[in-house]
Amino acid sequence: MLVKDLYEIARILGGNLSRGHGDVLVSSVSTDTRTLSPGDLFFALKGERFDGQEYVRQAEAMGAGGAVVSSDMKMDNADFPIIRVDDTLLALRILAQWERTQCKGTVLAITGSNGKSTTRSMIHSVLSSKYKVVSAEKSFNNQIGVSLTLLRNQPDTNCMVLELGTNHPGEIEDLCGLCSPNMALITNIGQSHLEFFQDEEGILQEKMTLARCESVEHCFYNANDPLLCKAFAPLEQPYTSFGTTQKAEVRAMELCLTEGWKTFVKLDSGNHFELSIPGVHQGLNALAAVAVGRKMKVDDPSIATQLNGWKGLPRRSEVKIAFGIWVIDDTYNANPTSFLAALEALAMAPRGIGKTFLVMGRMAELGDQEISHHHDIGHLCASNGVECLVTVGESPRAAALAAKEDGVESLSFPDTQNALKAVLSMLQPGDAVWVKGSRTSRMDAFVDQLMENLSKLRGVKACSID
């Protein structure tokens, strides 16, 4: 955030500043005392499960430059700067919108059913070879997260890369009003949040709100996605497509898995790179970064160098190894489309891999279609090289039953502990285990326990593969 005194911030917010503190300077904000740095302006947000006003004194003790609180909050210490407002969340948004007007660089907003964070991270890596880039930290893709990212703007910022998430109609439009992007990118349209959008057409309309945003001057979209191809065809503003199809303007001529579960991508320019994570879907995310890089005048050799060195994100197809056993930690989240992408990656397993296992947790937010979607994934296992399916929870049991019908060895367990014992009893060096599920299924804990147990077999520490 550009340096401001509290008097100016209070004016922007339309708030009331405690006396004698107008000359205090701040250049960053915080909504969480666990990550607060001295000098931050603390916004005391209130949610269903927390009240930031309970942490104002802690923020003061940690050296915060001041706090933005609700107008009805009582504060005994007259020495700590306070700005009182009617709504602290609205105040955070107002300050972020004001900061957006001060950013002279390009603002790119990314949305899509899957791959937003991975694509954002890849784009950051590509653009940082030439520009000063600010991008979202973690999956900061709601009103609070986008506001916090905008407020990290600096005088020398050339590019900002934002994520826009949604699980209810109208949220993308609201976030567009907050960040006013110059460029837009849609990764794909898939079966996510069906509990609230009913079908892919509803998801498509929500995501396309970004492409139609008034401030957007250029769009990027996945040419491998038929719904996006159809939706972009009638649009008038400039756009760039990326993918593996002949119609893609930014195209991969070769895309395959290599030794160590890496993804090799050869571009239409002849340049090539190798990603540290597996899957065609990850290659498409990288092509999105190539498309943005080219638009921003980053040359292909530099793009390839950056993507070769890109390290990946935790629990998003993260490759780990212990006792000679490959573990692909894909536990950040899951929906039917991302599960299909994982299966397609397993079907492309590198040579020399032993038995392939899929450990499946529940896919959430699917509404009354939940059981049928799990069942469908089960039926796809045999044709995609899964030799053993292990499911955890009631809904995934439908997948195990379907896979068993197709001749796939299938086991179903009510909890991760019993599933872990079964998997450990079957694994041999050279085998590969892909673990995936929605965050609520806690499959990340399964991976952690699996790696811990595998490490003990040889007495060596398990590690991730870069």
Q: What are 181-239's pLDDT values in tens digits?
A: 999 999 999 887 667 777 888 899 999 999 999 999 999 999 999 999 999 999 888 99
Three-class SS state of 151: coil
What pLDDT is attached to residue 285?
98
The domains of the chain are located at: 4-90, 103-309, 318-464
Q: HSE on the CB side for 45, CA within 13 Å?
A: 19
Q: HSE on the CB side for 7, CA within 13 Å?
A: 6
Confidence class of residue 442 from pLDDT cuts 50, 70 and 90?
Answer: very high
What pLDDT is attached to residue 246?
96
Alpha carbon distance 147, 180 (integer Å): 12
Per-residue pLDDT averaged across 260-282, rounded?
97
Longest dimension (CA), the chain: 76
What pLDDT is attached to residue 18?
86
Confidence class of residue 456 from pLDDT cuts 50, 70 and 90?
Answer: confident
Alpha carbon distance 340, 45 (integer Å): 38
What pLDDT is attached to residue 78?
74
Q: In degrees, to the nearest 5, what angle opens at C-alpha 242 toward C-alphas 236 and 248? A: 80
Of all residues in the chain, the percent with pLDDT exceeding 90 is 87
Instruction: Look over the chain and give the mean of its residue pLDDT values, rounded to a whole number.
Output: 94
What pLDDT is attached to residue 462?
45
Indicate the range of 17-21, 111-115, 230-234, 313-317 predicted with least confidence. Answer: 17-21
What pLDDT is attached to residue 352?
87
Of all residues in the chain, the percent with pLDDT exceeding 70 is 97
Q: In degrees, to the nearest 5, what angle opens at C-alpha 396 toward C-alphas 390 and 397? A: 75
Residue appearing with tokens 């692909």: 328
Say if CB 381 and CB 389 are below 8 A apart: yes
Nearest to 365 by CA among 336, 341, 398, 331: 336
3-state helix, strand, coil in the chain (%, to 5): 40, 20, 40
Indicate the range of 163-172, 255-264, 451-460 predicted with least confidence. Answer: 451-460
Say if CB 265 and CB 273 are below 8 A apart: yes
Between 459 and 394, the higher pLDDT residue: 394
Q: HSE on the CB side for 322, CA within 13 Å?
A: 25
What pLDDT is attached to residue 465?
52
318-464 shares the fold of 4-90: no
pTM: 0.95
Per-residue pLDDT averaged across 339-349, rounded?
95
Question: What architecture is domain 318-464?
Answer: Alpha-Beta Complex (3.90)
Say if CB 68 and CB 120 are below 8 A apart: no
Phi, psi of 424, rounded to the nearest 5 degrees: -60, -35
What pLDDT is attached to residue 460?
44
Amino acid of residue 20:
G
CA distances from 288 to 28, 52, 115, 323, 358 (A): 31, 38, 10, 35, 28
> What number does CATH give the domain 103-309?
3.40.1190.10
Residue appearing with tokens 């209810």: 168
Per residue in 190-201, pLDDT (tens digit) is 887 667 777 888
What pLDDT is attached to residue 73?
87
> What number does CATH give the domain 4-90?
3.40.1390.10
